[in-house]
Each structure stands twice: as structure tokens, then as C-alpha cells.
Structure 1
Amino acid sequence: MWELFMNIIKSGFPLLWLIVVGMILRAIWLEEGRSRAYKQRWSLIVAAPLLLSALLWIALALWPVDQPVALLVLAGIIFCAPIVGVGLWLFLGR
């Protein structure tokens, strides 16, 4: 089971998250009628958790973790960070 999880990590999810970050940042910057400060603030709030999750994917792929608890904690952060970033933008930013 852990080999399957590690294969998923190495398969390209960091690239997928970076594409998602780019799409969301593009949507933020294309909103009309918003100030530059608003766009900069929400770009940071949305992009930070998504980029953190991509970096954690890469870290897990390069640094093998043998303890299942540590792996589950990192996996939880990876999956929750994008949800937090996108959720903040959708519910608070609009």
C-alpha cells in the first residue's frame, strides 16, 4: 500500500498543483473592479497553501519516510492545504 502511495507522489501531483495555482491566480488577476492590493493579498493567501502542498509532495518523493504516522501527517497537510487555499478565496474573497 505504501508503494502505491509513493508512486502517486512521484507521478506528477506537484505539477498538477502548480497548474491549479496558475489557474486560480489567473482568475484572481482577471477579476475586474478589484484593487491591486486586493489582488496581491488574495494571490498570496491562495497561492501559499497550494505551493506548500506541492513542495511537500516533492519532499516526500525525495525523502523516504518509514514511519506511517509521519507519512499520514504529511499526506494530511498535502491534501488539506489546497482545500484551505481555494476555500478561503471562494468563500471570503468573492
Structure 2
Amino acid sequence: MKISRMALLLVLATAGVQAHADENEITGNASQTPVENYTYSTKLDIDKVITVTDIADQCGPVPAQMTYEDSHGQRHVLQYQVMGTGCSNG
């Protein structure tokens, strides 16, 4: 009985460590990727959007970021300006 409990604990601990390592790999890659600033002449090769930041609740242009993979599987972080969501119509 004790051996089966120890084996179950070992399996669960191993699975938890593996899941944590996968999560760190995903977030670690995004933090090491340099941020590129968007301009009108920027050539974009977006194959898959991974994340987009929330838009700030301000009136006027605010920065936003998009993390994406290109057609070669390389990860990019693009910073660009969007209109904030804090403007009222009246």
C-alpha cells in the first residue's frame, strides 16, 4: 500500500514539474524576444498570433503589443499604437 502511494506521488510530482517547465519555456521565449516598433514600411509575415495586449482605458493613442510567429516559426513581438478605449462620444 505504501509503495503504491509513493509511486502515485512520484508520478504526480513529475507531471507537475514537466507542466511548469513547459510554461516557463513559453513565457521565457517571449521575454527574450526583442520588441520591434511598427512603422508603415514594416513588412509583416504573420502566420499565427499568440497574444495581443489589452487596450488601455485612455483617450488618445496608446501602445499595444502583439506576439506572433512568422511563416518560418520564429517568434516576434511587435509594438504599435492604437486608439485607447477611454474616449466618449459626447
Both structures adopt the same fold (TM-score exceeding 0.5): no
Name the TM-score, length of structure 2 as normaliser.
0.31
Name the TM-score, length of structure 1 as normaliser.
0.30
When Rg is computed on C-alpha atoms for both structures, the one with the higher figure is 2
The answer to which structure, 1 or 2, has the higher relative contact order (CA under 8 A, 6+ apart) is 1
Identify the structure with the greater strand proportion: 2
Identify the structure with the greater helix proportion: 1
